[in-house]
Every structure is written in structure tokens, then in C-alpha cells.
């Protein structure tokens, strides 16, 4: 029971380490008949890749994904889809000096106690490098959801440190800047903020928001397969996640019931405080989620820790690290939202495939 697989009907198993020879995944249960190419998957991968700007880690991976099985003549066959990416720019020597130290805020100490040993090269299995395979699998899921249902998934940077990024929302601008910021007027402020932060040698957290439009009503379940519950678990599985909101989220604490209850009219819902999920089941409104990411723990600033013998020591983490991991998390959140939705479509079809569409349907 190593828990490297997620999904109920659509199963995604990932493998590999940050500084190992390769990372990969097996997608089992994906529907047959969808055209897909390695180039399409790589396009999605390059959105989360490091080294795209000075504001992320300068590790440069080619992200040349190979499709090993499950696709014949460019079309998915319904059999397991195996994907692999060979690591080409890992620099393990950056970690040799701290191999016997526990990095504060990382999984070093907890891995040591769970397994009795750990891969100290870049975090090993707990590295965000693993999320490349989630994005690869998410590329297939996003395309299927779009083609079959017209579901469009969009994620963006909502906040970087204390700077909000989406008060003026221009979706066309999200991929026009290195921050996935939907407000073009805010990009220069983000650039200056990150430049100053990098000079300080410190890091900062971020808030990533995502929305899926076109989701039909009826996906999910009332108790143990809640759509919002599975979404929360999927988002919490992403490295550095410390909080998840569905719809109004924590803001619902101060709302009155008259504000939060999303009244309905024949012309549609009057709000979406519930984030497109009622009683664990999709309502037909956009499914919305927000994910809070902690500041990067790998810093060049000295910090106190202990070594593997329990002795107090000082640590400085060199190498290539993101001053804000939340920036590159945008396509990861997008991918996880797509994978959960596709899994729930398949789960719904398995149980309720004979249930005809119900009326009325409002959005």
C-alpha cells in the first residue's frame, strides 16, 4: 500500500523521483477513441516547466514525453496509457553537503521516520517534479472533457504574497505572462515584487484559483464520493498545498444564509457561493476551487535544524529553487481539476448511465 495511485474509475499511477533517471505515469481506464499526440502533452507540460522565466527554478528539462502504450495510430485504445519523461538536467551534487541534514519545512524528517531512509537528492519522491506527470495525464483529461461536454477549465494566479492578481480579470492574459496573471496591469508589480524577494533570498506563498464551466449537473455522490470532497483531496495532494476552498470557502463563515444560499429562478442561479457543488453533486454551475500554497522552504538564508544523528546544526539550501512554488502550480491545479471531473463522469456513467436528463436544468 504505497499510495501512488489516485482516481476511482480513472486510475492514475505516477512513478519516479526528482533526480532519478525518469518520471512517468500509467493512466488506466481512459476512454478509447480520442486522438492525442506527444506534442499536445508536451505543450501542457511546458506551461508548468521550470526555467521559463527568472521567477522560477532554473532547472531546464526538455519534457520530451514518450507514449509507451495505450495509443495506436494516434488514438487512445482503452488500454493502459503509459507515459515517461527522462530527466536531463538533475544536479544531485547541489544536495551532497546537506545529505545528512533535515531541511526545515520539507519532508526529510518525516520520510526518515516513515521509511527509515530517504532520497536526499532534491526531495526524491516528494519533489514537485512528480507533478509533471499529473499535468501530462491532465492534458488528456482536459481534451476529452472539452470534446465530449464542452467543459472548459481555466486556472490562474489569484494572489502572490500580499498582492492580489485578479481584481481585473482578463482571461486572455493568463498565458501572456510568466505568472499566469489575468490582470495585465498587475504584471509589472509582480515582477518587481519577485525581484526584490529574490534579492532578499526569501520566498512567499500564493493562491491559485480555478474554474470549470460546462460541467453537467449530477456528477458526484451524497456521502463518500462527494465531488467537492474528491476535489479537496486532489488539491491537497499537490506539493506545498496548505488550504483548499470550494466556492466561497472560508468566506462563508461570515456570510448570512440569505447571501450564501444561491437562490434559483427559471433563468438560472442568482449566485455560485457553493462553487458548483450541492450535497456533493455538481449543480451545472461552474465548479470553482481555490488552493493556498505555502512559501518555498529551500532557502539560501541560514536556518536552524538537526542532522540525522540528532545534533543541532545550521543549514543553507543551495541549488535551483522556486521563490514561489504557487506560480507553477497553476497548470497543476488545472490538471487535477480535469482528472477529478473525468473520473466523476465515468463514475456517474457507471451507476446512472440509464437515467435520462432531467428538467428543469438551470445554470
Q: Mind listing the pLDDT tens digit for each residue in 128-143? A: 889 999 999 999 999 9
Mean pLDDT to the nearest integer, 72-92: 90
Asked whether residue 92 carries a pLDDT value surpassing 70, the answer given is no
Is 226 within 8 Å of 277 (Cβ atoms)?
yes
> Is there a domain that residue 357 lies in?
no
> Is there a domain that residue 363 lies in?
no
Distance CA 92, CA 161 (A): 30
Mean pLDDT of the chain: 91
Q: What is the CATH number of the domain that holds 147?
A: 3.60.150.10
Distance CA 330, CA 290 (A): 10
Distance CA 252, CA 242 (A): 18
Distance CA 18, CA 177 (A): 26
- pLDDT of 60: 65
> Is there a domain that residue 361 lies in?
no
- In order, the DSSP letters of 213-252 are ESPPTT-B-SSTT-HHHHHHHHHHTSTTEEEEEETTGGGG
Mean pLDDT to the nearest integer, 30-38: 98
Encode 125-148: b = buried (16+ Cβ within 10 Å), e = exposed: bbbbbbbbbbbbbbbbbbbbbeee
| Cα dist from 214 to 113, 148, 217, 284, 290, whole Å | 45, 11, 9, 7, 18
Considering the chain, what percentage of its residues have pLDDT values greater than 90? 70
Mean pLDDT to the nearest integer, 177-181: 95
> Is there a domain that residue 34 lies in?
yes
Nearby residues of 254 by Cβ (< 8 Å), 6 or more positions away: none
- In order, the DSSP letters of 105-158 are TSSHHHHHHHHS----STTGGGSGGGHHHHHHHHHHHHHHHHHHH--EEEEEEE
- Of 221, 227, 349, the closest CA to residue 285 belongs to 227
Distance CA 11, CA 80 (A): 9
The whole-model pTM stands at: 0.93
Grid cell at residue 167: 481584481
- Of 209, 350, 227, the closest CA to residue 280 belongs to 227
If DSSP codes are grouped into helix, strand and coil, which group holds residue 92? helix
> Is there a domain that residue 360 lies in?
no
User: What total number of domains does the chain contain?
Assistant: 1
Distance CA 31, CA 343 (A): 11
Task: State which residues form the domain around 311.
Answer: 5-352
323 or 270: which carries more pLDDT confidence? 270
- pLDDT of 117: 82
Asked whether residue 343 carries a pLDDT value surpassing 70, the answer given is yes
Q: Name the pLDDT band for 91 (thresholds 50, 70, 90).
A: low
Count of Cβ atoms closer than 10 Å to residue 185 Cβ: 11
Q: Mind listing the pLDDT tens digit for each residue in 97-140? A: 778 888 888 888 998 898 888 887 777 788 888 999 999 999 99
Helix then strand then coil, in percent of the chain rounded to 5, is 35, 20, 45
Q: Mind listing the pLDDT tens digit for each residue in 310-321? A: 999 998 877 656
Mean pLDDT to the nearest integer, 231-258: 97
The C-alpha angle with vertex 255 and arms to 254 and 260, in degrees rounded to 5, equals 150
User: Omega into 303 within 30° of 0, i.e. cis?
Assistant: no
Mean pLDDT to the nearest integer, 145-165: 97
Amino acid at each position: 500500500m504505497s499510495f501512488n495511485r489516485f482516481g476511482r474509475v480513472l486510475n492514475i499511477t505516477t512513478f519516479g523521483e526528482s533526480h532519478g533517471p525518469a518520471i512517468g505515469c500509467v493512466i488506466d481506464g481512459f476512454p478509447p477513441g480520442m486522438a492525442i499526440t506527444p506534442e499536445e502533452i508536451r505543450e501542457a507540460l511546458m506551461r508548468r516547466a521550470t526555467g521559463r522565466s527568472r521567477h522560477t527554478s532554473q532547472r531546464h528539462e526538455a519534457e520530451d514525453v514518450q507514449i509507451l502504450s495505450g495509443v495506436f495510430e494516434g488514438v487512445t485504445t482503452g488500454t493502459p496509457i503509459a507515459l515517461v519523461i527522462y530527466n536531463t538536467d538533475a544536479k544531485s551534487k547541489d544536495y551532497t553537503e546537506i545529505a545528512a541534514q533535515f531541511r526545515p519545512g520539507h519532508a526529510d524528517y518525516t520520510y526518515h521516520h516513515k521509511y527509515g531512509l530517504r532520497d536526499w537528492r532534491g526531495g526524491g519522491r516528494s519533489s514537485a517534479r512528480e507533478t509533471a506527470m499529473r499535468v501530462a495525464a491532465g492534458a488528456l483529461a482536459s481534451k476529452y472533457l472539452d470534446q465530449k461536454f464542452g467543459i472548459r477549465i481555466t486556472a490562474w494566479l489569484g494572489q502572490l504574497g500580499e498582492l492580489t492578481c485578479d481584481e481585473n480579470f482578463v482571461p486572455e492574459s493568463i498565458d501572456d505572462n510568466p505568472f499566469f496573471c489575468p490582470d495585465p496591469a498587475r504584471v509589472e508589480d509582480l515582477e518587481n515584487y519577485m525581484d526584490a524577494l529574490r534579492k532578499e533570498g526569501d520566498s512567499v506563498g500564493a493562491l491559485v484559483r480555478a474554474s470549470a464551466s460546462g460541467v453537467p449537473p449530477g456528477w458526484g455522490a451524497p456521502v463518500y464520493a462527494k465531488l467537492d470532497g474528491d476535489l479537496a483531496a486532489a488539491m491537497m495532494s499537490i506539493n506545498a498545498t496548505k488550504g483548499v476552498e470550494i466556492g466561497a470557502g472560508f468566506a462563508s463563515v461570515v456570510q448570512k444564509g440569505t447571501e450564501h444560499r444561491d437562490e434559483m429562478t427559471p433563468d438560472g442561479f442568482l449566485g455560485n457561493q457553493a462553487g458548483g457543488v450541492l450535497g456533493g453533486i455538481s449543480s451545472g454551475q461552474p465548479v470553482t476551487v481555490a488552493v493556498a500554497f505555502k512559501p518555498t522552504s529551500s532557502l539560501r538564508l541560514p536556518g536552524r535544524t538537526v542532522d540525522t544523528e540528532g545534533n543541532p546544526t545550521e543549514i543553507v539550501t543551495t541549488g535551483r529553487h522556486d521563490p514561489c512554488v504557487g506560480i507553477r502550480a497553476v497548470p497543476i491545479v488545472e490538471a487535477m481539476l480535469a482528472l477529478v471531473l473525468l473520473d466523476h463522469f465515468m463514475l456517474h456513467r457507471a451507476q446512472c448511465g440509464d437515467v435520462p436528463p432531467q428538467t428543469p436544468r438551470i445554470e
